[in-house]
Amino acid sequence: MALDDLKSALPGYAKDLKLNLGSVIGNSDLPQQQLWGTVLACAIASRSPKVLAELEPEAREQLSEDAYTAAKAAAAVMAMNNVFYRTRHLLSDPEYGNLRAGLRMNVIGNPGVDKVDFELWSLAVSAINGCGMCLDSHEQVLRKAGLDRETIQEAFKIAAVLQAVAATLDAEAVLAQ
């Protein structure tokens, strides 16, 4: 199993990551589509070829074709939006907030899967990309849709662990050279 391969690839000093990786994916209370869409979107957002290569086959197996495509779309559109909105928020000139974005993001309105699932995946990717404005926006949509804080936190726990696994494995690959 790819999850076991990822865990075994982690160095001894990252024992907590091994345990957390098994926990956030193997013991998640999220429904399969929400879980594996979050995993796939976060694996893409982590920018780690190893993490993506190990987790993508299981995600493809667990997700419908529409959900698989939508999870990839969430990672793609959030890669753009997180940079744009994070920059707009960080600039000291508030007038940028009054300008039209002028960026296409139609997939958010029509993702091809349940809107809640897409929003959850978008929130998780936004956590990896560090965009507070997007995190707030997606969290508010999810809360209005009836998701509780524990469910929302499951998504950003997955994001946190996958990002840490990616950073650790990528660092070890460089150090081994």
- Enumerate the active-site residues: 131, 134
- CA contacts within 13 A on the Cβ side of 168: 20
- CA contacts within 13 A on the Cβ side of 95: 1
What is the distance, to the nearest Å, from the Cα of residue 172 to the centroid of all Cα atoms in its chain?
Answer: 22
Burial of 177 (0-12, 13-18, 19+ CB in 10 A): exposed
* Integer Cα distance of 161 and 174 in angstroms: 20
